[in-house]
Amino acid sequence: MTDWTAVATELAEEFAPRAAAVDREGRFPVENIERMQEAGYLSSVVPVELGGGGADLATFAACQQIIAGACASTALATNMHLFGIGAAAEGWHAGERAGEPILQAVAGGTVVGGSLTDAATGLNVRTSSTPARPVEGGYVVSGRKSFCSLAPALQFFWGTAADTETGALLLFGLPRETPGLSFVDTWDTMSMRGTGSWDVLFDDVFVPAQAVQRGTAPGEELVWDAERERPFAWFAVSVAAVYLGIARAATRLTYERARTRTVTGAALPTAHRPDQVYGAAEIELALRPAEAMLRDTIARRAAGEVLPPEDLQALKHVAVAAASSAVDRCVRMVGGHGIFRTLPLERHYRDVRAGQFHPPSPDTAAETIGKAVLGIDLGATPRWPAE
């Protein structure tokens, strides 16, 4: 069995030296994706029986932490391929065979990316403002979606649209070369500049009925079971891993600098000053509980638990918030040199800020967690009743 963390370490060593240029130029690091393909990393989570690497969630999370520390954009972009494939692989082991064709395609080298985000409606993945008009044999989809990471490299796209007659939310998958489907480079951002998270255009795209993987009718009660939990769990765990990976890269740099920098007139390195000691402690007190929560989430799932939405959302929220505050504190410890582009710290500082925008956002996580502990049904309407 391949040692995937060793593969990730090797890839990270290759990616780190070019991460600054990728960020500076805001370019998609196609060479990193090609190297990951060559190394089998993009099919690491596919079952061995289907030609993949057999990596489980714990291994995947460890690998993504390593890659994120070198090039956060590469880790985050490939996360959008790997988390869904990993969830499908876990389902395959549980006897669900619907995902087998895509798992086989990925084992054969297909890169998958998708967008659930409508330009008009934002983050609410329970709905879509992209219209899908029912026609003979399927739907015709038109409109625009945004934030499609990996857009420059993907060969298979998945996304959501709403049935214009029933309002049902449809999840569908299409090959990149589908007529009318195109990708537009709109990605000029402060953070995660190398993720290639372009817009997706649908110009009367025909989606055959068999390409629609799932439909959810409006008002339909959603059952939270193992099958439904899987993609959310793989997403929450891997997003937590990516952002904690960025924070750990920042701490390595910061602690090393404190241990080795002696300012004029001082007898000992700055690590001996109270501001550095307390700063390092503050960072550890933020990161260690989040890292423990990540390990605990993985362990509970490995023991067979199906985690409730509030636990998964709490993990994502806690990890991203801890990573962000830890990197802030790193910049304060390093001081003014922390904002120079000669150090990767300012890139970590910008990249880590993107974490809050992945679902659930801080406000939606708070709603889920608060309602769960107060015994309020999350699906109840109206969402916020008057007194």
Ligand X SMILES: Cc1cc2nc3c(=O)[nH]c(=O)nc-3n(C[C@H](O)[C@H](O)[C@H](O)COP(=O)(O)OP(=O)(O)OC[C@H]3O[C@@H](n4cnc5c(N)ncnc54)[C@H](O)[C@@H]3O)c2cc1C
Which of 148, 250, 286, 352 binds ligand X (CB under 6 A)? It is 148
Closest residue by Cα to residue 121 from 91, 139, 144? 144
Which of 84, 99, 114, 344 binds ligand X (CB under 6 A)? It is 114
Look up tokens 């030609």; give the residue. Answer: 51
Look up tokens 């049902």; give the residue. Answer: 168
| Strand partners for 200 | 145, 183
- Site membership for ligand X, residue 226 (CB under 6 A): no
- Site membership for ligand X, residue 116 (CB under 6 A): yes
Look up tokens 């880590």; give the residue. Answer: 352
Site string for ligand X, 356-375 (x = CB under 6 A): -xxx-x-xx-----------
CA distance 147 to 191: 13
Instruction: Specify the residue, 239 or 298, whose C-beta has the smaller distance to ligand X.
Output: 239
Instruction: Specify the residue, 257 or 358, whose C-beta has the smaller distance to ligand X.
Output: 358
Task: Report the nearest approach of ligand X to the CB of residue 299 (Å).
Answer: 27
CA distance 89 to 83: 10
Site string for ligand X, 179-218 (x = CB under 6 A): -------------x--x-x---------------------
Cβ–Cβ contacts within 10 Å for residue 148, how many?
27
- Site membership for ligand X, residue 233 (CB under 6 A): no
Residue count (the chain) = 387
What pairing do the DSSP bridges indicate for beta strands 138-148 and 131-135?
Answer: antiparallel
How many alpha carbons lie under 13 Å from residue 379 in its C-beta half-sphere?
Answer: 9
Task: Report the nearest approach of ligand X to the CB of residue 255 (Å).
Answer: 27
Map residue 366 onto helix, strand or coil. helix
Which of 20, 58, 123, 306 binds ligand X (CB under 6 A)? It is 123
Instruction: Specify the residue, 163 or 367, whose C-beta has the smaller distance to ligand X.
Output: 367
Binding residues for ligand X, rule: CB under 6 A, are: 76, 80, 113-117, 122-124, 147-149, 192, 195, 197, 354, 357-359, 361, 363-364
